[in-house]
Structure 1
Amino acid sequence: MDLGMRMREIREKAGISLRKLAKEVGVSPSFISQVEQNKAQPS
């Protein structure tokens, strides 16, 4: 399992929306989505 899939799995199990996670960590929802789809790498 790759990072993006694992991240999404954990986020969904915790009941956290993509928007809420993005706000909490200070990035855009689209960036979180891209990371979950392995289209972007977190730094």
Structure 2
Amino acid sequence: YIQIAVVDQKSGDPTKIILRDRITQFIVLAWLLSFLFLIYIV
């Protein structure tokens, strides 16, 4: 988000940026999957 806001100068609502940016979506999804894996599988 900081890179998008500073480098691309497209600051705004973080929720809207998450809904548009594929890399941020992937990072959030990977974090959630790893969290669920650690809590329920391990």
> TM-score by structure 2 length?
0.33
> TM-score by structure 1 length?
0.33
Relative contact order: is structure 1 or structure 2 higher (C-alpha 8 Å, sep ≥ 6)?
Answer: 1
